[in-house]
Structure 1
Amino acid sequence: MAVGYELKASPRDRVGKGAARALRREGLIPAVIYGDKKPALPIAIPVKETTVLLHKGGFMTHLGSIEVDGETHRVIAKDYQLDPVRDDLMHVDFLRVASGATLTVEIPVHFLNEEICPGIKRGGVLNVVRHAIEMTVPADAIPDAIEIDLANAQAGDSIHISAVALPKGCKPTITDRDFTIATIAAPAGLKEEAEEGEGEDEGNGED
């Protein structure tokens, strides 16, 4: 199972605000590893290295490897807390990941070929309804992104999940409707042309 990052951690014997402040003075922050039917493991991880990983992107969708006292844990970050004033990283929750497991994660949406999209070239605007899609994915094959090709998208088009080629083994958690991911909003002039055309067709039909 490939991993996107590696961290070294030490076990935490003390918990609470006082212990957390002491850790931060040493350049560490509290974290916990839980799940896979094993006891939760409180740990301390380096704040500088972890902050870099957080801002690099993909922290919540890439598998990680954390070494604690010589034992390696395969994990994925499930939650983190920031200081409400300074935005400093304060705490991270990691979920243990067993080989062959499936995970529920939010996968970012990337749009391709915006520069040649016919609808955008005619003055339309890409309106993104969902910047990420919650999906069930194989733990050992988490996609970096869901890619949507706009090369043939026209003004007025809506892009639904059913029209997207999803990576193997990946399924959206919303299954009861064909939800919209994005639309190409038509410019006002194009809308008026379309409405005038419809009006003419109706008039011809009456004759």
Structure 2
Amino acid sequence: MATSYELKASARERVGKGSARALRREGLLPAVIYGDKKPPLSIAVPIKETTLTLHKGGFMTHIGTITVDGKKHQVIAKDYQLHPVRDDVMHVDFLRVGKDTTLTVEIPVHFLNEDKCPGIKKGAVLNIVRHAVEVTVPADEIPEAFEIDLSKAQPGDTLNISDVNLPENVHPTITDRDFTIATIAAPAGMKSEDDAEGGDEGEGEGGEDA
């Protein structure tokens, strides 16, 4: 199973606020590894390297390797806490990933060819309803992103999950409907202009009949 980042950590015996503050003074971050039917493992990871990994993107969707006192653990970040004022990372929860692990993750949506979209060229606006889609997926098959091509989208079009080419083993957690990801929303002015054109044609036909 390929991994996207590696961190070195040490096991920690003491837990609690006082212990966490002492770790941070040493440039370390309290964290925990849990899951895969094994007991939780409290660890300390370097603040700098962990923060850089988080800000690279994909922290919650990429598999990582954490080496704890010489033993490697494959993990995925499931949650992290930020300082309410400074936005510093305060704690991270990592989930162990086994070879048969299935995860529920949010995959970002990327929109392609926005500059070529005929609807946008006509004055419509891309209205994004979901920036990410929650799916269940095997741990070693997590997509980087979902892509939707806008090159043929017209004003008023709705782009649903059915417009995404999903890999075979990737399944949305919402299964009861073809849910909307984005729309090509026509401004009110565009609609009123269309209505006005239709009204002019109707008046002209009426005049000829008279």
Q: Return the offset for 1:141.
A: 1.3
CA distance in 2 between partners of 1:143 and 1:164 (Å): 12
1:94 maps to 94
CA distance in 2 between partners of 1:67 and 1:10 (Å): 8
* 1:63-120 Cα shifts (integer Å, max 9, x gaps): 0000012111000000000010111100000000101321100001100000000000
Instruction: State whether structure 2 residue 14 is matched by structure 1 residue 14.
Output: yes
Higher mean C-alpha deviation, range 189-198 or range 116-125 = 189-198
Q: Return the offset for 1:196.
A: 4.0
Instruction: State whether structure 2 residue 32 is matched by structure 1 residue 32.
Output: yes
Bigger radius of gyration among the two: 2
2:156 maps to 156
Q: Return the offset for 1:5.
A: 0.3
1:1-80 to 2 correspondences below 5 Å: 1-80=1-80
* 1:111-139 Cα shifts (integer Å, max 9, x gaps): 00000000001111000000011001121
In structure 2, the CA distance between the partners of 1:134 and 1:202, relative to structure 1 (3 Å rule), is farther
1:162-181 to 2 correspondences below 5 Å: 162-181=162-181
TM-score, normalised by the number of residues in structure 2 = 0.93
CA distance in 2 between partners of 1:43 and 1:99 (Å): 23
Letter in 2 for 1:49: E
Classify the secondary structure of the residue corresponding to 1:92. Answer: strand
1:108 maps to 108
Unaligned runs of 5+ in 2: none
* 1:157-203 Cα shifts (integer Å, max 9, x gaps): 01111222112311100001111100011133321233346667988
Q: How many positions carry a matched residue from both structures?
A: 206
1:116-155 to 2 correspondences below 5 Å: 116-155=116-155
TM-score, normalised by the number of residues in structure 1 = 0.94
Classify the secondary structure of the residue corresponding to 2:20. Answer: helix
1:185-196 to 2 correspondences below 5 Å: 185-196=185-196
The percentage of counterpart residues that share the same residue type is 72
CA distance in 1 between partners of 2:201 and 2:11 (Å): 74
